[in-house]
Amino acid sequence: MSSVDATGSLALDVEDWDAGMLSRLAAEHGTPLYVTDLDRVRQNVRRLAHAFPDARRMYAAKANTGQAVMATVLDEGMRIECAAADEVTRAMEAGADPDRLQYTAVNPPARDLDEMVALWEAHPGLRVTAGAADTLDRLADRGFTGDLLLRVNPGEVNGPHESFAVGKDAKFGVPYERAVEMARAVREEYQFDLVGLHAHGASGMSGELTHPEAARRLAAVARDAGGVTEIDVGGGFSVPYRPDDEPVDVDALATETRAALEEVNARLAIEPGRYVVADASLLLTRVNTLKETPGPTVVGVDASFTTLMRPALLGSYHPIRNVTGPDREETEITLGGPVCTSTDTFCQDRPLPRPVRGDLLAFGVVGAYGADLTSEFHSQPFSAEVALEGGDDRVVRERRTVEDILARERR
């Protein structure tokens, strides 16, 4: 494990994990297997607390809703932001106080709004974020009069992948040009308590422009609308995936973001998800097939895009380590899983120590949108997950079987 302290910015690399421990866990629990270092999660949370001591710090649950992860961030004093009613339920099951939760509605189904308004009636500290006049109408129809943040679309703010550059997407928030008008309507027409403005710029923001710029744009709205006491800049901070990626300097990012709010009397809120968990997990998988071709060697493993969806969905890069044979001569490989589709491919033409059938491979930086994007396509049951903490390990997610799948079906 990495020895980085709470103020450091060094990312936990796929090569930093102890090979003997990984081999033991794979032998004991089988593969594919997620392994999550909860001590690393704590380090990441503490680094954010050091950089943003006065901010309202919320963990964006959608990155990883595992009970062990959420219980850990709660234990470190972080609040949780949820994008769905069932995420709120999972957060409370992990120990979250509903009065400290924030629900950010995105085209919310009626059931979600029913549940959240009922929860707010019992726990009036629950905060709701709305990004459409229609959502405001639906909340008013249900009798909601509580704390509300207005989600504003800040315009295009860059992320690491087009699918994550949501700032420009009309799905997320009221148009920037109407933000002042809508903020006033929240107070005057809907009679909600407007506690803040929210914007989701992008996931995996670099901090060189995007996070401070999103804050700056919200500050301009706050000045014109008046009475805004919080600026909530959603979207995560960048995490290194490739070997030449640099970790974000969260202290410098915090300084820039605070400077963007100097002209408004509003507290900063942040919602990192990926930054907290991405480098805290590995995915272990076994080599089962080797096929020589005129080009790269085709290598088959027991993990698939049902286990780790990001490469197929987003073209994402994950570092890969040959745990069993790290010192072998490198060869170019194309690596894929057992699902019968060409999109079930993790990498193409990548140099890797030559794999042998039975080798244990590890995918790095899979803690964000890894386990939570798994599916049962091809009747592939969900993988198990082991958590590491304080030198011990324990199963925190049981491996499912085809019997578990069939138990939920009827003829």
| DSSP assignment string, 346-384 | EEEEEEEEPP-TT-EEEE-S-SSSSGGG---GGG-PPPE
Element (H, E) at 310: helix 310-314
Tell me how many degrees the CA angle 152-253-214 measures, rounded to the nearest 5: 15
Q: Which of 244, 340, 358, 392 is catalytic?
A: 340
- Contacting residues for 125 by C-beta, under 8 A, at least 6 apart: 97, 98, 99, 100, 147
Task: Single out the residue of 310, 203, 308 nearest to residue 248, CA to CA.
Answer: 203
Q: Shortest CA distance to 257 belongs to which of 301, 341, 248, 4?
A: 248
Are 344 and 305 within 8 A, CB to CB? yes
* CA–CA separation, 129 and 103 (whole Å): 6
Which helix (DSSP H) or strand (DSSP E) does residue 385 occupy? strand 384-389
Strands (E), 216-344: 230-234, 267-271, 281-291, 297-301, 320-322, 330-336
Please confirm, yes or no, whether 347 is among the known catalytic residues.
no
What are the residue numbers of the active site? 340
